[in-house]
Chains A and B, each alone.
Chain A
């Protein structure tokens, strides 16, 4: 039975001076169930994960879950104290004090604590309550608390803290009534004086105070469960642990490719057929060409990769929500430290296999600034899902489908693995270079909390995928649509007048885009790239997958047999050396404006992403040059 009926009878002695309530913040230590509560209160999508401090962005939502659509709820990153030890804590402090630009000063605070570890969690209560904002203390996980024989007197605790206290279970939805009750009281009350709490100078006095409070409230910690330790006996076993770790990583990629490929092919067929259905509806001529050969073909050549990308995010979501990712960080720490990074960098780097943008935001869990900067700078080397379309197109066009070891290992798979390995080695080498030069740091402790294993919920995984799909489709509908349209227009300008006065499009080589491609050709010819590839490289600076749609538009392939004819066109136009060089170029080059923007935001300067872009470009050029010439020497 849950303790939801013990909702506060104690009225808060604090209220905002002007009694108008607009903004409420949600704060609490990592793993206190804050994100689940946020989901329940707002009904908005939000990442719920098990890695300490994974809520790296502040999120907002209207409190529709408790019938208060007029209130904005801000979800803050999980923090242990108001000591600005990490970026997360700094963000939270700024928001709470109303010093965060663009975020309104909060009018009320919901302080969430895991009642299973109340003594420790209370250490955050004193500094938060001392801010003088009206605060409701929520003792979360009341269901588990009751189940495992823990006890706390909420009324006594409310008296000690001078703030109302409610016992809730965000997972079960118990005790939620306390929240609207508290909020309604805030709108009516005004002018009360805050209860004075002891000023806590350091962590030791904060702990002494927290221990004293929890003693006075008759707190008894619940019993620990054995389940997590039994699972860890296997997953962190000296021999089985690393082996299972490798199996998990390989299995993720295997499933993404073996299930994702047929799904992609199927989607490609459907999109091509849809294009053919539209064709008769448009008058033949430039409009039909613009819509079908320009826009539709460009977008669908990128859309087909949605299944693979979603599968990759699904697996990373399962690993993260279950709590395994923290164990993976523990196993990876030994390897990561040889480069100068620590195990926590493993989480952003693994997410980097899906997309560098969320991965770079996830680096906020790394407390040490230099470690964090080094991780941000190497994350774009990880083979993100946007590189997949380019690799798959080139592999399908140039690498024969030969199988080794009785069909267990294909040449195409080997090339793909080689490209993933190239990215990983690039990241590790760069990390080592950075950590032994400009980003050297001595005092960077590795402190990792291992949360209990949880079953990932379908709801949380589903919300994650919807979120990713939305971002991907938005990208396809904006950047990629614009680029393909612009390319189509540039490929059809300047308008030619024939002797008889008829208007026609120029030859591709004479068009604006053709001349631009020829202009940069000398710089890329040593890599085995012609001017069309040059245009592809220029346009893919926006996003890597644009390369594929650009090739599609430039080679003007028929939508019905698009993949086939694009392969044939590329095969006719490029050498094997050039194709391999192009793949290695994409492995190293930083072709993504979204990543550059997020690096600028996280490192607060344009200098870093500019240096990163140049470094990766030079590396990509040199590697492509070497690969092209080696191929010519040995295979040409």
Chain B
């Protein structure tokens, strides 16, 4: 059974936001809406200070609270783990947004553009009125994955079938693939490392993993 999942290797991420820019470019999200972004987390007190960069977005949960609360069935979870939104069903009630513990959902009530009230030519070409006043979020670039797999490509291996953020990551920190396929890049990375999932205690079964150490060190400890 396929379960598409992503891993963010926090040891590698440098917070360059290239994934954020790639997501914006690939998905034409409006200003202030970032389906993929990287948090800059400063912790500790001088001189023992740490800085961590944490890519976040929709976690494509196995038990998504957004799907459970959605009154319209616009939000659905596919058998392969992708959580999708049908923009033609969504009423923009915002219930999914308050149900998501990852702050991954966005509702834009008016068309907004980067440079002025009028869209730039590239914005006009890619503007999708269906996305106004409904919930939107990271799709794991589901269109690329579906089109790629239809061509026999392997998501997480073949760039044409892999999410834009993963393709763009200059540090190789983002890894994608079928969690249940031991040969997939994501399964192999998870097998070799210590990792966690965010807010796992809430029972959402998120599909995003965070790598924080090598497994060998964890075993030695």
Q: Are these two chains actual partners, yes or no?
A: no
Binding site for B on A (CB under 8 A): none
